[in-house]
C-alpha cells in the first residue's frame, strides 16, 4: 500500500492563487486507486476540510505543522491512543492550545519590545489583505487551534530573539512559504507522519510512504517518508534541505504535484506493483 503525505501551499496548491486544478487528474487517480492521501500542512482543520471536500479526499490529515492528527472514526478497525473526539474525528494532539501560544507571544512582546502581529491581532479584512484570501477562506485560516501565524516581516536578529524567547515557553517558530508559524516544540510534521504511518502499518501488511513538499517546514515530512519529492519554487530554485535524499521535481506547485504523482503511479504500474 502506497501512502501519500502532501503539503498544501506551494505544493498541491498554487503558491499565489491557491488553485489546485492542475493536480486534479492526479488526485482523482490516487483516490480511484484507493491510495490514502494525507494532507500535512500549516493550514487549520477548517482549511484542510475545505480542500478535502473539494477534492473528495476521505483520509486522515495533519494540521498546523504537525500539531494534531485528525483521523476519521472508521479509518482504522483497531484501538489506538488519542486525546479527544470531535466532529467524527479521533484526534491525536501533539501541540499546545492556541490560546496558550497567544498569551506567550504577548508576554514576549512585553519583555523584549519586539513588534509583530499575528492573525489573532488582525481584523478579518486585514487577514484577507495580507493573505489574498476571500473573507470565507480568511476566516478558515484564522480558526487556529494549536498555533499562531505571524505576518510581520522580521529581521534575522528579531527572529533569533523570538526563537530564544519561544524556547523558554516550550514553543518554536517555523517559516513556511509566506509567514511564520509558532507552535509547540512537540509539534512536528515528521513526528505526526511517523505516528500515522505506524497506524497504517498495523492496517496493511506492507506500506511505502511518499512525501511531497516545497518549503523549509516540509523537511521533517520529507525526512519521515520512504520516497521524498521536493517541488520547485516559483523562482525556479529548490528549498535547501541539506543532505536529505529527495527527488527534485522540475515543476512548480500543483503542476509539479501532478508530474511527480502520475510519474510515480506510472512507474508502479509498469513494474507490476500492487497499489492498493
Which residues are catalytic, by number? 7
Euclidean distance between CA atoms 199 and 192, whole angstroms: 11
Maximum CA pair distance of the chain? 61
Q: Which residues of 221-260 are buried (b: 16+ CB within 10 A; e: fewer)?
A: bbbbbebbbbbbbeeeeebebeeeebeebeebbbbbbbbb
Q: Are β-strands 148-150 and 227-232 bridged in parallel, bridged antiparallel, or unpaired?
A: unpaired
User: What element of type H or E holds 157?
Assistant: helix 156-168
Euclidean distance between CA atoms 189 and 5, whole angstroms: 10
User: DSSP H helical segments within 189-248, as ranges?
Assistant: 189-203, 219-223
> 28: which residues sit within 8 A by CB, 6+ positions away?
56
> 191: which residues sit within 8 A by CB, 6+ positions away?
66, 94, 220, 224
Q: Are β-strands 180-184 and 148-150 bridged in parallel, bridged antiparallel, or unpaired?
A: antiparallel
What are the φ/ψ torsions at residue 178 (nearest 5 degrees)? -125, -40
Beta bridge pairs of residue 183: 172
Amino acid at each position: 500500500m502506497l501512502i501519500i503525505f502532501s503539503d498544501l501551499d506551494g505544493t498541491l496548491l498554487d503558491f499565489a492563487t491557491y488553485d489546485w486544478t492542475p493536480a486534479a487528474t492526479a488526485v482523482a487517480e490516487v483516490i480511484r486507486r484507493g491510495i490514502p492521501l494525507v494532507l500535512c500542512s500549516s493550514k487549520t482543520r477548517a482549511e484542510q476540510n475545505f480542500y478535502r471536500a473539494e477534492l473528495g479526499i476521505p483520509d486522515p490529515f495533519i494540521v498546523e505543522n504537525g500539531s494534531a492528527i485528525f483521523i476519521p472514526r472508521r479509518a482504522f478497525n483497531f484501538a489506538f491512543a488519542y486525546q479527544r473526539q470531535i466532529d467524527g474525528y479521533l484526534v491525536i494532539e501533539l501541540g499546545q492550545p492556541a490560546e496558550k501560544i497567544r498569551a506567550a507571544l504577548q508576554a514576549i512582546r512585553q519583555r523584549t519590545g519586539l513588534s509583530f502581529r499575528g492573525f489573532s491581532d488582525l481584523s478579518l479584512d486585514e487577514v484577507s489583505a495580507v493573505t489574498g484570501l476571500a473573507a470565507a477562506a480568511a476566516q478558515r485560516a484564522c480558526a487556529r487551534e494549536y498555533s499562531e501565524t505571524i505576518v510581520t516581516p522580521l529581521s534575522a536578529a528579531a527572529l533569533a530573539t523570538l526563537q530564544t524567547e519561544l524556547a523558554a515557553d516550550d514553543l518554536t517558530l517555523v517559516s513556511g512559504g509566506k509567514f511564520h508559524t509558532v507552535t509547540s516544540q512537540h509539534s512536528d510534521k515528521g513526528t505526526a507522519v511517523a505516528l500515522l504511518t505506524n497506524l497504517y502499518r498495523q492496517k496493511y501488511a506492507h506500506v511505502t510512504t511518499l512525501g511531497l513538499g516545497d518549503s523549509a517546514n516540509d523537511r521533517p515530512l520529507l525526512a519521515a517518508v520512504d520516497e521524498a519529492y521536493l517541488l520547485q519554487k516559483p523562482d525556479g530554485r529548490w528549498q535547501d534541505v541539506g543532505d536529505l535524499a529527495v527527488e527534485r521535481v522540475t515543476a512548480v506547485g500543483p503542476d509539479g504535484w501532478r508530474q511527480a504523482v502520475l510519474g510515480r503511479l506510472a512507474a508502479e504500474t509498469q513494474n507490476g506493483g500492487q497499489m492498493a
